[in-house]
Amino acid sequence: MIRRLMWNLLAGSLLACFMPPLLELTTFDSIVPFLPMLLVPLLVSHLKRRWFLSGSLLALLVSFYFILTPGEAPWLLLGEIMDDVSGVINGELPGRPAFAVSIGLISFLIGYLGRRTFPNRGFVVGLALGVIGFIAYCDTWTDYSGDQFILYPILLALFLLYATEINERPVASYVRPISALLIVGATVATAVQSPVITATWQDSWYDWTDGFEGSGTPSNTIQKVGYGSSDEQLGGPFQMDDREVFQVESEGNRYWRVETKDIYTGKGWVLSESNPEIDGRGFFSHFGKDVKTREESATFKLARELPFVPYNGDNVRLTANEQRQNLLINPENQKISYLDDATRQQNYQIQYAYPLFTEKLLQTDEPIQLSEMEQDRYLQLPRTLPRRVRDLAAEIVADEKTPWERAKAIENYFEQENFEYNTEEVAVPKENQDYVDQFLFETKLGYCDNFSTSATVLLRAAGLPARWVKGFTGGESDVIGAAVTSYTVRNKNAHSWVEVYIEGPGWVPLEPTVSFDGSGQYTINQETNNETEQANPQRDTESNPETATPNRPQEDLLDDTQTTTTEQTPQRSIPVWPIIGTVLALTFLYLFRKPLLRTFAILFFRSQINRPEGFRRMYRYLLRRLDKQGFHYKDGRTLAELAHEVDEYYETYAMRPLTDAYERMIYGGETLSLEKKREYFENIIRRVEG
């Protein structure tokens, strides 16, 4: 009994080793809901065959549910449990008290089946491998660092193995597959679907959605500090994410703008206090009145629902279902979203005014006429900004005459100074370190956030109003050169750049990030025609096929907000359904392996069995199958003895005649003359695989 208790404690501790990474990585911030998951199986396991106690525990759990949720019909329990299960699978931790009961019941089942099925070394080894593998997985793929912790499960597993008695119990045939299925299913579900906040496996998708729906964030979300979950804290590496965001048919490879941010904190970006979004044909203008524009339209096919409208230029109108839709426009950050969530469209068309700058217009030297408030916003710099950043800005623009030239000098600075584009070795600034300062003077290596933020800060330091823009680059296209081309925009195309305010043209985009085709250089067409098109953040594919290279930067959108909503569990890049399908298929094969094998064997040997070689093969196959059933021919049994045992065991008279014929072939050199071979064979194989 004490030994059993010890065993249970050790097993429980080993099981508990799942917890630290789980707590660190999921939005579950408390261990309490998991306690039943640990305690109940142990209790069940410890109670052994005391049905009464196990039953009482079960009853207690159920009544607990009714006490917590009075007045509910009993049959609702099942539904609630199903809800809870799917909730957990979807990464949701329901707040209801019934949840703990559900977990308890599931644990009861798992514990019971686990005890019935794997009370032996195999179970311990499997458990240990599971825990260690899980920690290793988390350590490799997520923020969690298990190098200290991994020692505990290993030690526990060794102790547990020591304490484990080999205790094979005969188990009903259905128990093993069911518990295997449960355990595999739970593992897959946990591994794939748990609401993990992975640092290096970022998914910009739900950051965006959260950014938009900030108010809808459920109370059970928690904040996690780590790289890039927010623009407030920039820095750190990330990985490419190839999932598609939308497809767009447009007249050129355009950048798709989403929003801007104005306040630089020294670590990242926040939005100054924003007014409520303005309904309507809401209007803001990026460009001065002298800027010529061209009406363009683009057709979007969203790969998934987007809580914002990517757009380009000015005066955006959206048509869906052949109807003009109302839009919510936030003039503070120029973010456009649907007025009504219910009408979020998977396919729509936007019209917009695409700007056509001219060199003449850009080279103006007019004084800035922004309002004082706007000037404050777009020239804002944190007090903590190191002096040397301002000095650098002054130095870069020293020889430039017009604001546009100064802006271009800053844009080109990174290229000239051989800054490196890199997404993997990007540092996170130390506690008292400025993000821009670190990039400009220390690392000189980073991705678009580093470049765009630094450029914005430098522009502001040089006295040019600037704001930080987030959006997507143009994506990839299979067809290049057609008038209207379809581009695929993926998560990795998420991008950030800069807009500088120049009196006259208005807000002009800049591309400071190196390796981005021409680094945002404006190849201004010097035609006399005022209609000269300006390749701006929107680069035409025709001229800039590089935009289609997979080397696109994409980072920015990854980090809009710090919160991850459990509600919005995104599709992971691990394909869930194929895995589940495979698991199910394997389970099916496993469950029906005997009939399948039997049928296969019967069909396979049907024609062969009358030929000596075929008969020999059949007999040996039979021996191998029997060996699996525990009739070993290798430990000195003769075939006749084996056949006798087999027939005795299966209560058949089939193995003996077959063996007789086989012996005559092998030892007697006679050709076989056994009638009803096939009958005998089918008879025995049915029993063996039965």
Partner 1 sequence: MRTYTSEIQAIIDNVEKVIVGKEDVITQSLAALLAGGHVLLEDVPGVGKTMLVRAFSRSIGLTFKRVQFTPDLLPSDLTGVSMYNQKTSQFEYRPGPLMGNIVLADEINRTSPKTQSALLEGMAEANVTVDGEIHTLPNPFFVMATQNPIEHEGTYPLPEAQLDRFLVKVKMGYPDFHQEMKLLNRFEREEPIETLESVIGRDELLRMKEEVKAVHVSQPVKKYIVNLVQATRTHSMLYLGASPRSSIALMKVAQAWAYMEGRTFVLPDDVKHLLTPVLSHRLILTADARYHGQSAERILEQVKKEVAVPIQHDVESL
Binding segment for partner 1 among 279-287, 375-383, 537-545, 637-645 (CB under 8 A)? 637-645
Cα dihedral 564, 266, 464, 414 in deg (nearest 10): -90
CB-based contacts of 252: which residues, under 8 Å, 6+ apart?
A: 474, 485, 538, 539, 540, 541, 542
Q: Which of 120, 645, 663, 686 binds partner 1 (CB under 8 A)?
A: 663
Amino acid of residue 627: D
Q: How far is the CB of 606 from partner 1 (least distance, A)?
A: 22
Shortest distance, position 688 Cβ to partner 1, whole Å: 16
Stated length of the chain: 690
* 641 makes contact with partner 1 (CB under 8 A): yes
Tell me how many degrees the CA angle 533-537-543 measures, rounded to the nearest 5: 60
604 binds partner 1 (CB under 8 A): no
Choose the stretch contacting partner 1; rule: CB under 8 A; options: 354-362, 389-397, 520-528, 638-646: 638-646
Q: Compute the distance between CA of residue 392 and CA of residue 385 in angstroms, rounded to an integer.
A: 12
Q: Under a CB-based contact definition with an 8 Å cutoff, are residues 562 and 230 in contact? A: yes
Pattern 557-596, binding to partner 1, x per CB under 8 A?
A: ----------------------------------------
Which string of b and e fits 601-618 if b means at least 16 CB within 10 Å? bbeebeeebeeeebbeeb
Residues 637, 649, 652, 686: which binds partner 1 (CB under 8 A)? 637
CA distance 371 to 376: 9
Nearer to partner 1, 383 or 624 (CB): 624
- Applying CB under 8 A, among 63, 140, 638, 671 the residue interacting with partner 1 is 638
Q: What is the largest CA-CA distance in the chain?
A: 112
273 binds partner 1 (CB under 8 A): no
Q: Return the range that interacts with partner 1 (CB under 8 A); candidates 138-146, 571-579, 602-610, 667-675.
A: 667-675
Q: Is residue 634 close enough to count as binding partner 1 by CB under 8 A? A: yes
Amino acid of residue 503: E
What contacts 91, CB < 8 A, 6 or more positions away? 26, 27, 193, 194, 195, 566, 569
Evaluate whether 252 touches 301 at the Cβ level (below 8 Å). no
Among 215, 624, 673, 690, binds partner 1 (CB under 8 A): 624
Q: What is the total count of residues that contact partner 1 (CB under 8 A)?
A: 20
User: Contact with partner 1 (CB under 8 A): which of 668, 671, 676, 679?
Assistant: 668
Contact pick of 66, 137, 284, 633 for partner 1 (by CB under 8 A)? 633
Separation between Cα atoms, residue 441 and residue 419, nearest integer Å: 10
Q: Shortest gap between Cβ of 658 and partner 1 (angstroms)?
A: 13
> Of 176 and 664, which CB lies nearer to partner 1 in the complex structure?
664
Taking the complex as a whole, the smallest distance from the CB of residue 636 to partner 1 amounts, in Å, to: 4
- Where does this chain touch partner 1 (CB under 8 A) — which range of 51-59, 206-214, 265-273, 616-624? 616-624
| 666 contributes a contact to partner 1 by CB under 8 A | yes
Q: Does 670 bind partner 1 (CB under 8 A)?
A: yes
Beta strands of 152-282 (E only): which ranges?
244-250, 256-261, 263-264, 269-270, 278-279
Residue from 168, 635, 651, 675 touching partner 1 (CB under 8 A): that is 635
Q: In the beta sheet, which residues pair with residue 327?
A: 338
CB of 680 to partner 1, least distance (A): 18
The Cα 434–Cα 123 span in angstroms is: 52
What span, in angstroms and rounded, lies between the C-alpha atoms of 493 and 476? Answer: 9
CB of 635 to partner 1, least distance (A): 6
x/- mask, partner 1, residues 94-123, rule CB under 8 A, reads ------------------------------
In the Cβ-directed half-sphere of 196, how many Cα atoms lie within 13 Å? 25
- Residues lying near partner 1 in the complex (CB under 8 A): 616, 620, 623-624, 633-641, 663-664, 666-670
